[in-house]
Structure 1
């Protein structure tokens, strides 16, 4: 039984006991008072009648007439006249039933009012004539007692109602902080860490203080771990001078972009080189040259912010690189943007230095050496042309993707309506070789009788035509249908763009409510970028769908986890570390230390941690040693 129900029962029991006790005491005292009144009345009336009879000088007829005259008033139940020897001279008596008809019989039996006879001596001078007994009707006392009982019960009921209203407000004052504390405890069980306002009730205030203290300590611990993880990330991934990705990590990011089936599918790679870096060192000195390189790197990073998913790195010396993902990046960040940014740095620093830029567009499935060779070639042509030259590789293949938006919309809409879609399955395995769930990306048949295309082919156009929420909704339907057939857990990734559709989450909730058993085997994940940029939407997704049994997680995570300020409040179930984060842990101690610290931080929040895109078999045992709960990727087999 809940505490609130116990409080209510205690209040009701106390009020009921108090009211019933008050009513019983009133009834008993009223009964005694009425009996006393009847006794005194009988005694007084007997004395008055005896005085009247004494004046009759023993005349029996006159005395009888006097008695009958008094009896006929209707207030008496019995009047008896006895002679000096105790013999009844005459007796007159009536039934009180007709007079007490307004009072229920059960009340009369329950609360009897005893009418004690009044006795007085009748005399003729000094001679005793006899005695008279007078008994008044108790029906009138019962009527008065019944009427008083009704009024008293009514007033007590009114007072009970008022007490109930006051008790409701009092219990509500206890319930609200208690429910807040219970909600806080439930949130802790769901790995959400929230603080509540301390109530005015001292006992509950101490409880809330303790719970808030736990939450704040956990938050402090998370902040400390996040700081440590961020430091290890910089050591493992970043160039110590500029803070940009170092060569090894940048190449890993580029390889991940080229292999990503669910990524943008295309992009551009820029190489920028500061000319004659050695000469600048002699002219400016190492410290000033390092400061210049830092500002050039910062300028590249700021200029790339217009493109989501950009990677900026320092390859070595004065060589920098930028990888932009998505065909929209070709329009959002042009080479002229970077040229202008660097020229502004050189002008503001008053440095007489030059640079060149070479770039090449790429698409998914191109090999890393092919892209790097094309970019190096473009950079070499730029150097041959002279300072501040810009050379770009062929962009025809990529440019074709940005054409025909209306045709893409029609093709995708038809494919969705005809359900020319399918989910493919990639296993996520735990350390014991057991299947955790099937990772199920979407494939769409753009042209009838054509092949089913990976997301990198149609994803850019789906985003531009605002069809992603429909695609993701259909993917969830297919996953639930597949689970219903074989009861195998399946995971579906949701686009951050879908979360921006206000009706998307309610539609998913309706799907899950319609399939409660299958929902418990459904895994839904969104990109790390969504939690960074749209944290409230991700938290609402968790709030709406996790109670229905679905598990919610982040994918492509690792680079910006420590920037999710309220990660401990999101209510997530798991995190999948991006391939660019975990690749090469068997050969790179700094990278392994970062992964281990990240896993420890996430485990501390009660989250499961998986690695995605594992392509090197040598990394698998190391990843499990670092604490990961499961792996997926090309080398992970069912």
Structure 2
């Protein structure tokens, strides 16, 4: 019960006590008054009857006596009126029947005993006693009058009590409004929302409470902000190059391997190795400050290029070596896109009047390979090509492994498009398990068969779908097949559906998705996962989607969490149900103290917001043990098994 209601109840309880006391006093006083009134009526009636009936009593005229007695008896004040002659014989008797009902509750009659008064009046006529009159008042009249008075008092009390309660409610609402603000502050603080009350109450005690709460909110906000700054500082120290702000060598190699081995979101990839020729000579010629500025400008140009090309990884290997990996493109397209970066480097070194006689400042090697290529193989091929370009000394010369294809073949594009249009996709699943091995949910992956009737790599399939703008069609099929699977397998685990960034940017798809989930009875068994990059790109739209999904009982998760350079402040506004730490943070977790500390900080941030933290791409038992010690809520990866056909899952 709220404080306001408790105060109102207390006041009403006090009023009730006062009313009960008043009832008791009133009933006792009213009883005495009624008895006095009845006694007076009895005496007056006996006197008046005696004066009137004296001659008729001498003659024993019973008809006249009966007429006079009945007229007085009908007033209702009397229980019995008896007329006796001088010998004590009854001339006339009038009384209420014993079983006559009293218009008052039985509990009142038993609680307040009333003994009605009786008056006897001797009657004389012409100096002779002719008889006597016996008048007894009726107790029922007293009870009826007493009950009527109590009812009127009760109605008045109830009316006053209701009016008092309303007035108290309004008054207390105003007086206790600051406390409601304090409660709102406390609940918001638990959600990592920092709200201060701008208006201080006039009441001294409440003013102190509000001031103390405002001070605590500011201190907690400062503490959380300091925690976030420390985590961001740790991220920068461990994973960011201090000069360019890009991924450092360690983070770069880890993320390259993550994309090639797990995400496969590039399909066949191109790795661009940008190299500043003879960095030592540049340092001597330009000075350290200008050389660093040159590296920063080239890094920014390469990063901007990567952002314009879609999914990418960019970082600095060290010295004058920068790396960009993205979806494979042909030599002519790379020539067009990278010319600006090479010209920028030339101009920064030789000035605006650079000419062909100037030695090339930078050289670029591009290696393209399919998804079976490792990071080491791509980097070594790109290095060899870059060295050939540097030795050739041809300025803007770009070399590429000519044995690789220049993009998707028309035959393969047609095959993928036909598979999607004919709904010839199938789903695989990989379980997410808690510490005890229980399945939390199964993440779903879409696959198609290639021309040899074997499941193809995700990058080969989804990369073409992205180029052909068919990712929305793929996601529609994933949602449709997942709902059908849950309907046919009521004992199957919950499913996690990872939707593409491009699909979520389509309002028509979002409306379709919400309608499908609303019409289905399986909504509570579905989780929607969104890549962290998509969230940071379309935060407002994703927040609306998250709110709509919550109303349908659908859980919402953040995938690939923890690597985006913009940090994770969006968690406070989005409040997802769970997040999955990016696999690049897990690869060396059992070997790196920095990775363990950073992952531990991310888990702490999630738990402080009541968000569950999961880890993906867990392959070794040592990784799993380290994550359990850090407080992870669930793990997913080859340690628990490779993806298996969805239709065969029965848990």
- Report the TM-score when normalising by structure 2: 0.70
Alignment partners' CA distance in 1, 2:439 and 2:588: 24
Residues 50-199 of structure 1: matches in 2 within 5 Å?
50-52=50-52, 59-60=58-59, 65=64, 68-69=67-68, 71-73=70-72, 74-75=74-75, 77=78, 78-81=80-83, 87-88=88-89, 90-95=91-96, 103=103, 115-120=116-121, 122-123=123-124, 131-135=132-136, 155=156, 158=159, 181=183, 192-194=191-193
Alignment partners' CA distance in 1, 2:194 and 2:87: 91
In the TM superposition, residue 10 of structure 1 has moved relative to its aligned partner by: 7.3
* 1:468-488 superposed Cα distances (whole Å, 9 cap, x missing partner): 542442464477579855x77
Residue 231 (structure 1) aligns with = 233
Instruction: Flag the 1:320–1:57 CA change in 2: closer, same or farther, 3 A.
Output: closer
Alignment partner of 1:400: what SS? coil
Which structure has more relative contact order (CA 8 Å, sep 6+)? It is 1
Instruction: Flag the 1:489–1:61 CA change in 2: closer, same or farther, 3 A.
Output: closer
Residue 580 (structure 1) aligns with = 584
1:415 aligns with 2:423: yes
Instruction: Flag the 1:105–1:256 CA change in 2: closer, same or farther, 3 A.
Output: closer
Residue 36 (structure 2) aligns with = 36
Alignment partners' CA distance in 1, 2:222 and 2:581: 23
Pairing partner for 2:460 from 457, 460, 466: 457
Pairing partner for 2:447 from 436, 444, 448: 444
Alignment partner of 2:244: what SS? coil
Residue 371 (structure 1) aligns with = 378
Residue 357 (structure 2) aligns with = none
Alignment partner of 2:423: what SS? helix
Residue 473 (structure 1) aligns with = 479
Alignment partner of 1:72: what SS? helix
* 1:2-48 superposed Cα distances (whole Å, 9 cap, x missing partner): 99998998788777777677667666655544443332223233334
Alignment partners' CA distance in 2, 1:340 and 1:241: 21
Instruction: Flag the 1:405–1:35 CA change in 2: closer, same or farther, 3 A.
Output: farther
Alignment partner of 1:415: what SS? coil
Pairing partner for 1:316 from 293, 315, 318: 318
Alignment partners' CA distance in 1, 2:187 and 2:497: 30
CA contact (8 A) 2:487 2:522 kept: no
Instruction: Flag the 1:218–1:310 CA change in 2: closer, same or farther, 3 A.
Output: farther
Alignment partner of 2:326: what SS? strand
Instruction: Flag the 1:23–1:626 CA change in 2: closer, same or farther, 3 A.
Output: closer
1:559 aligns with 2:560: no
In the TM superposition, residue 287 of structure 1 has moved relative to its aligned partner by: 1.8
1:288 aligns with 2:290: yes
CA contact (8 A) 2:294 2:348 kept: no
CA contact (8 A) 1:356 1:388 kept: yes
Higher mean C-alpha deviation, range 398-407 or range 31-40: 398-407
Alignment partners' CA distance in 1, 2:295 and 2:105: 107
Higher mean C-alpha deviation, range 459-468 or range 609-618: 609-618
Alignment partners' CA distance in 1, 2:189 and 2:53: 92
In the TM superposition, residue 565 of structure 1 has moved relative to its aligned partner by: 0.9
Residue 513 (structure 2) aligns with = 504
Instruction: Flag the 1:203–1:57 CA change in 2: closer, same or farther, 3 A.
Output: same
1:257 aligns with 2:259: yes
In the TM superposition, residue 144 of structure 1 has moved relative to its aligned partner by: 5.6
CA contact (8 A) 1:360 1:394 kept: no
Alignment partners' CA distance in 1, 2:267 and 2:206: 56
RMSD: 5.7
Alignment partners' CA distance in 1, 2:477 and 2:192: 33
* 1:199-241 superposed Cα distances (whole Å, 9 cap, x missing partner): 9899999999999888876655443333223222222222222
Residue 528 (structure 1) aligns with = 532
Alignment partner of 2:422: what SS? helix
Alignment partners' CA distance in 2, 1:495 and 1:210: 47
Instruction: Flag the 1:618–1:130 CA change in 2: closer, same or farther, 3 A.
Output: closer
Alignment partners' CA distance in 1, 2:214 and 2:410: 52
Residue 305 (structure 1) aligns with = 307
Residue 647 (structure 2) aligns with = none
CA contact (8 A) 1:281 1:289 kept: yes
Residue 645 (structure 2) aligns with = none
Residue 387 (structure 1) aligns with = 395
- Report the TM-score when normalising by structure 1: 0.72
CA contact (8 A) 1:237 1:245 kept: yes
Alignment partners' CA distance in 1, 2:441 and 2:192: 30
Alignment partners' CA distance in 2, 1:183 and 1:138: 65
In the TM superposition, residue 254 of structure 1 has moved relative to its aligned partner by: 2.3
* 1:548-604 superposed Cα distances (whole Å, 9 cap, x missing partner): 998765432331387111536755565443333343456666556544554565566
Instruction: Flag the 1:81–1:205 CA change in 2: closer, same or farther, 3 A.
Output: same
Alignment partners' CA distance in 1, 2:23 and 2:482: 66
Instruction: Flag the 1:590–1:482 CA change in 2: closer, same or farther, 3 A.
Output: farther
In the TM superposition, residue 366 of structure 1 has moved relative to its aligned partner by: 3.1
**How many pairs were matched up?**
619
CA contact (8 A) 2:271 2:325 kept: yes
In the TM superposition, residue 425 of structure 1 has moved relative to its aligned partner by: 3.5
Alignment partners' CA distance in 2, 1:548 and 1:273: 52
Alignment partners' CA distance in 1, 2:108 and 2:622: 97
Instruction: Flag the 1:50–1:480 CA change in 2: closer, same or farther, 3 A.
Output: same
- Is there any run of 5+ residues in structure 2 with no aligned partner, and where? 355-360, 643-651
Instruction: Flag the 1:609–1:475 CA change in 2: closer, same or farther, 3 A.
Output: farther
CA contact (8 A) 1:280 1:289 kept: yes
In the TM superposition, residue 286 of structure 1 has moved relative to its aligned partner by: 1.4
- Is there any run of 5+ residues in structure 1 with no aligned partner, and where? none
CA contact (8 A) 1:273 1:319 kept: yes
